[in-house]
Homo-oligomer: A and B are copies of this chain.
Amino acid sequence: MFKIAVLVSGGGTNLQAIIDAIESGSLKDVSIVKVISNKEGAYALERAKQHGIEARCIRPKAYADRADYFRDMIDDINASGADLVVLAGFLVVLSGDFVSAFKGRIINIHPSLIPSFCGDGYYGLKVHEQALKRGVKVTGATVHFVDEGTDTGPIIIQKAVYIENDDTPEILQKRVMEQAEWKILPAAIQAIADGRVSIKDGLAYIEGSISTE
């Protein structure tokens, strides 16, 4: 069984997509061993508990030092036995120590086609606001490995989503979630769990086919 820890900050819709994929059997031989939120009362914690998954809130503000916060996170994730750390709407900027501790074993989902609309300041609804402001007709989502930069790591999967004339940031956010994020995040986890993802010259490749429909 391939074990994952999922880090969240909010509602946890991507966490729910992973849970659903596991429960429906479309995501095979993968189990969520831990959910950690930086925010108390994040609904994601509730979702985890409803499905019998160990869930914990670790608040940065509860620590005198940021390094202590990440040290506790690293220890907690290591204790869970997780093979992979999945950032599923986790809005804390990671420390270099944290990234190093799970080098090549942290993935993130971003609601745009990187390198468009990504980097510092681009998260959540703001990504879709900026895409609509530029007037693009295609956007999408990206699952990538996390490195020291913001949204700069090797890209594992991307999926395109078409924009419609009367889209608002909210409508677009929902469509990108439904058509892209909830498909490619479980697909990326499955591919990694199957040992089909390799990194070569700083780029990620999936061997064989993947289903993101």
Contact = CB atoms under 8 A, between A and B. Distances in A.
A113 B113 contact: yes
Number of identical protomers: 2
A115 interface: yes
B159 A135 contact: no
B140 A155 contact: no
A137 B202 CA distance: 14
Interface in A116-144: 116-117, 134-138, 140, 142
Contact of A165 (B115, B142, B155, B205): B205
By size class, the interface of chain A is: 20 to 34
A195 to B, nearest CB: 16
Contacts of A203: 135
A180 B29 CA distance: 38
A114 interface: yes
Given A113-B116, A116-B115, A135-B203, A140 B154 contact: no
A204 interface: yes
Interface string A93-120: 0000000000000000000011111000
Contacts of A115: 116-117, 134, 136
A133 to B, nearest CB: 8
Contact of A136 (B134, B138, B155, B205): B155
